[in-house]
Amino acid sequence: MSGIYLHIPFCKQACHYCDFHFSTSMGLKSRLMEALVAEMDLRADYLQPGATIETIYFGGGTPSLLSAAELDQLLAAINQRFAVASDAEITLEANPDDLTPAKVRELAASPINRLSIGLQSFHEPHLRLMNRAHTAQESGQAVRRAQEAGFENISVDLIYGVPAPDHGIWEADMAAAFALQVPHLSCYALTIEPDTVFGRQLRKGQFRPPPDEFVARHFEMLLAEMAHHGYEQYEISNFCRPGRESRHNSAYWAGVPYLGLGPSAHSFNGHSRHATLANNPRYVTAVLDEGTVPATVEALSPLDQANEYLMTSLRTARGCDLNRLRDQFGIDLPASRAAYLAQLQATGLATLAAGWLRLTNAGKLLADHITLELFQAA
C-alpha cells in the first residue's frame, strides 16, 4: 500500500500567509508537466516494486489551475507506470475561483473523486486581508456547484485566528461551512511565517497578530461546534463525518510510504525522507535535460522514526500506541517518562489507557510542546 503526491507549483497570486512553494508565473507549465512524467520514470524504483497505489493527491500550489485534460494526462502516466487500486482515492486541491461550471463538469467526468476546496473564510474583508484570489460569494458557490455535479467527497479548508474585533466572524465562518454539509473539514490556525507578506508586515509593525488566548478560544469554539454537528476530530486540524477521513493524509500519519513528485515535494519510503528542490526552473532543467532529480535525502535512524511516530500519532484521535513504540523502536515511555506521563494525566492534558497515550482537547492546544517534551534524545 502506497500513495503518490504531485506538487503543482503555480498560483494566480501569493496569499499573504503562505510559505508553500509556488510561482505566480505559469511560463514553465508545459515543461513542468513533462518533467513530472519524466520524474515518474527516474524514480520508478522508489516505492516497493508492484506496490498498490491506494491514494493520489494533487497538491500545491494550485493544482486546479491545470485543465481537466492536463490532470487526465498525469493520471494516465501514473496508471501506465504504477498499479493503481480500482477504488483509489484521487484528490484535487482546488481554489473556488477555478471551479467554473465547465471546469467542475470536466472534473466530475474525470477519475478525480475527491475535492479539497480552499475556502479559508466567508468574510470578504478577511479574504482581502489574506490576498485570496476568490470572493466570499465564490466560496459557497464553488462547493454547491461541485455537489450538483456529483462530487460527494468534498473537504473544505478554513483558517481561524485571523485578527478581528471579536469572535463573531469565526462563528459566522463555521456556520456557513456547516451549512454546506460537506463530509470533511480541515481547519488551521493562521500562523505567521517569516518569509511571507504577513511575516514582513509583522517585522515592520504593520501587522498585529491576535493574542494567543484569542486563537485558543477559536480552537475551543471549533471543537465544540464540530462535536455539535456530528464531526469527529481524527487529527488536530482535520474533522470528518464517521468514516470520511482523508485516506491520503491518514496514510501519511500511519507511516505508509509515498512518492512525492515535483519541486518541493517530499517522499517517504520507510527508511528515508526525500525532499525535492523547491525551484521550478532548476527542477525542470535537471529532470528533463540532465536526467536527475535535484533533492536532499535524509536517512532516518530508528530514533528519528520513533520521534516521527510520536509527533504524528499524538496529533491523531487514535493516539500513540506505546506497545508499538516499545516493540518497533525499543522505547518504553511508561518506564522512561513515568513522571511526565503522570503529570500530563493529572493536569488533564492526556489520557493513558490500554497502552494508548491520547491528548485531551486541552492537550491538543499544547501538542507541539508536549511532543517536544516526549522526544527521545540520541
The contact set with ligand SF4 (CB under 6 A) reads 11, 14-15, 18, 20, 22, 60-62, 95, 118
Contact 217, 168 (CB under 8 A): no
- Tell how strand 184-189 and strand 232-235 pair up: unpaired
Q: What does the buried/exposed string (b/e) look like for 13-46 if buried means 16 or more CB atoms within 10 Å of the residue's CB?
A: ebbbbbebbbbeeeebbebbbebbbbbbeebeeb
Residue with smaller CB distance to ligand SF4, 62 or 113: 62
Minimum Å gap between C-beta 22 and ligand SF4 is 5
Minimum Å gap between C-beta 120 and ligand SF4 is 8
Q: What DSSP string describes 48-59?
A: PTT-EEEEEEEE
Residue with smaller CB distance to ligand SF4, 11 or 127: 11
Q: How far apart are the C-alpha atoms of 145 and 141, rounded to whole Å? A: 6
Minimum Å gap between C-beta 371 and ligand SF4 is 25
Please state whether the peptide bond connecting residue 140 to the residue before it is cis, i.e. omega within 30 degrees of 0.
no
Q: Where are the alpha helices (DSSP H) in the chain?
A: 29-42, 68-81, 101-108, 124-129, 136-148, 168-179, 197-203, 212-228, 247-253, 280-285, 302-314, 322-329, 333-336, 338-346, 361-364, 367-374
Minimum Å gap between C-beta 234 and ligand SF4 is 23
Contact 23, 10 (CB under 8 A): yes
Residue 284, Cβ density class (10 Å: 0-12 exposed, 13-18 middle, ≥19 buried): buried
Enter the C-alpha cell of residue 325: 513504540
Residue 43's nearest CA partner among 7, 4, 74, 15 is: 4
Contact 120, 158 (CB under 8 A): yes
Minimum Å gap between C-beta 118 and ligand SF4 is 6
Residue with smaller CB distance to ligand SF4, 120 or 238: 120
Alpha-carbon distance values, 209 to 3, 119, 129, 164, 338 (Å): 37, 21, 12, 10, 37
Residue with smaller CB distance to ligand SF4, 60 or 363: 60
Residue with smaller CB distance to ligand SF4, 14 or 352: 14
Minimum Å gap between C-beta 188 and ligand SF4 is 10
Residue with smaller CB distance to ligand SF4, 11 or 47: 11
Minimum Å gap between C-beta 139 and ligand SF4 is 13
Phi, psi (degrees; rounded to nearest 5) at 370: -65, -40
Residue with smaller CB distance to ligand SF4, 23 or 238: 23
Q: How far apart are the C-alpha atoms of 27 and 64, rounded to whole Å? A: 16
Residue with smaller CB distance to ligand SF4, 16 or 43: 16
Minimum Å gap between C-beta 237 and ligand SF4 is 15
Alpha-carbon distance values, 162 to 15, 173, 192 (Å): 14, 11, 11
Enter the C-alpha cell of residue 35: 518533467
Residue with smaller CB distance to ligand SF4, 54 or 93: 93
Q: Which residue has the cell 532548476?
A: 282
Residue with smaller CB distance to ligand SF4, 43 or 248: 248
Minimum Å gap between C-beta 280 and ligand SF4 is 13
Minimum Å gap between C-beta 227 and ligand SF4 is 28
